[in-house]
Amino acid sequence: MTNAAKLDALIAREQDRFLKLHPRSAKAWAEGRQHFLYGGPSHWMRRWAGGFPVYVEDAGGAHIRDIDGHDYVDFCLGDTGAMCGHAPEAVTQAALRQLKRGATTMLPTEDSLWVGAELSRRFGPRYWTLTTSATDANRGAIRIARMITGRPKVLVFSGCYHGGIEEAHIEIRDGRVGMRNSIHPNAVDHAAVSRIVEFNDVGGLEAALSHGDVACVLAEPLMTNFGMIPVAPGFHEALRDITRRTGTVLIIDETHTLSSGPGGYTQLYGLDPDILVAGKAIAGGIPAGLFGLSAEMAERMWKLVPFANPRQRQSAHLGIGGTLAGNALTVATMRAVLESVLTAENYEHMIANATRLAGQVRVLIANQRLPWHVTQIGARAEIMFMPEPPRNGADVIAQRNGDLEMLLHAFYMNEGILVTPFHTMLLMCPATTPGDVDRHTSVFERFIALLREAGL
Ligand code: PMP
């Protein structure tokens, strides 16, 4: 039997075990498919390696219980949306308080004053706008970059993901630009609106920005959506320098890298983006995102769209949606997160657990002489089935072992571990314990044994 056939057989076995372990979820999924376009209320919910998702009975802290009665240590944490942990008390109380006083009015509450000041304390002084998601925050930031520069294109790095952003749905494969993950091109002329280069490629970036038609670079500080791709020394300095020299707006998307510390990677490494974006966990699971403009960007915006004065009868419409954005509920829960949950003290605890997990897994990998590695940044760790951390998307494409990932993920679910389906990223929340980490380590050890038994 070839290795590929052995892997296939193991995946089939784990999926069969998954079906037997989860009869109620299987039934619910069959029913859901009669009413939802892709089975669940969000199309993302169909992508689990067991073959269908488990239905959640309840979630608390770092654990989820499904309707078949299984307990999971949750390292997926809603793909970062629940980095505060499930049902964190401060957020729950703030939400309940605010729900009783009105969730959404299109008027500000005084909590927003505290939130604005705290965001500037963490991420640097900026002028903030709240949105309902990180996708929306990126869309708003891109629109503003185009308004300010009058240029059409958005530059992204191959292997990126920034939400439902048409301009960013492309990748470089075998030297050619195409759609990432077989995403439908949606009648968008990507040649007209996008540019793409490999991450960490200073020369490529310089060349791509030299045409003067790029409004903004949209980048994560290090890449987290194609496995984790660390940033090369000096790349951020070069990125800032080239974008400044070419008049290109630099948008740093901290949606995932908020796991680096209280002020994200930006605060930790002193980055200086023109626009900073965050989302997901920022309001403790209540839908929210945000973007913040530097003072210089804000001045340029106010020249284009003056600060509202109803008497001027001037259109102040920004073309950015969000009726529910920045509403009282979002702001109250964001305040609770910043005041009581994503605190320096909790980050210390989360990072210690990520360090524990990365360390233990590295020992297992080294002892078995496996050609794998673990990357850790702050409270987040990633196990990758390749010997060295990738330098860019091309390295991931060349070396990734998708079948092995699928087998691991199906095995994880059968053994009570949850990770985000798309790659093996493990995230800690304040409620994650060393015992939870050790449970993962022992499951990972059994996974290695499973491969050995199969002669893989
Ligand atoms: N930016 C980054 C870096 C992300 O990873 C994601 C989602 N995975 C988004 C933006 C979009 O977030 P949302 O789907 O919550 O809008």
Ligand 1 atom 1: residue of nearest CA: 162
377 C-alpha vs ligand 1 centroid, how far in Å? 18
Q: What count of other Cβ atoms lies within 10 Å of the Cβ of residue 58? A: 11
- Asked whether residue 94 falls in the same domain as residue 62, the answer is no
Please indicate, yes or no, whether residues 333 and 350 belong to a single structural domain of this protein.
Answer: no
The protein residue whose alpha carbon is closest to atom 11 in ligand 1 is 163
Distance 160 CA to ligand 1 centre (A): 10
What confidence score (pLDDT) does residue 422 get?
A: 83
Mean of all residue pLDDT scores within the chain = 96
Q: Are strands 425-427 and 249-253 parallel, antiparallel or unpaired?
A: unpaired
| pLDDT of the residue at 17 | 98
**pLDDT range class, residue 315, cuts 50, 70, 90:** low
Instruction: Assess contact for 91 and 333: CB atoms under 8 A.
Output: yes
Domain of 25, in residue numbers: 3-83+344-453
* pLDDT (tens digit per residue) in 230-278: 999 999 999 999 999 999 999 999 999 999 999 999 999 999 999 999 9
Query: Is the same domain home to 271 and 212?
Result: yes
In terms of Cβ atoms closer than 10 Å to its own Cβ (0-12, 13-18, 19+), residue 267 is middle
Please, which pLDDT band fits residue 317 given cuts at 50, 70 and 90? confident
Domain limit, last residue, from 317, 341, 365: 341
Task: Give the mutation target among 44, 80, 135, 181 for probing the ligand 1 site: most ligand atoms within 8 A of CB.
Answer: 135
Residue 342 DSSP label: S
Q: What is the pLDDT of residue 310?
A: 64
Last residue of a domain, one of 316, 341, 366: 341
Q: Is the CB of 255 under 6 A from ligand 1?
A: yes
Residues 145 and 224 in one domain: yes
Least confident of 13-17, 153-157, 178-182, 427-431: 178-182
Average pLDDT of the residues in 210-230:
98
Which CATH number do you get for residue 382? 3.90.1150.10
Which token pair is 272? 């200086």
Q: Does 319 score more than 80 pLDDT?
A: yes
| pLDDT tens-place string over residues 7-31 | 999 999 999 999 999 999 999 999 9
pLDDT tier at 388 (50, 70, 90 boundaries)? very high
Average confidence (pLDDT) over 204-221: 98
Total domains in the fold of the chain: 2
> How far is ligand 1, taken at its centre, from the CA of residue 164, in Å?
8
Q: Which atom of ligand 1 is nearest to the CA of 79?
A: 8
Q: The domain that contains 239 carries what CATH number?
A: 3.40.640.10
Closest Cα to atom 7 of ligand 1: 163
Give the domain-ending residue among 341, 358, 379: 341
Cβ 135 under 6 angstroms from ligand 1 = yes
Indicate the pTM of the whole model.
0.97
Do 252 and 215 share a structural domain? yes
- One domain for residues 152 and 292: yes
pLDDT for 311: 67
**C-alpha angle 356-70-286 in degrees, rounded to nearest 5:** 70
Residue 1: the pLDDT is 87
Kindly state whether residues 349 and 385 are assigned to the same domain: yes
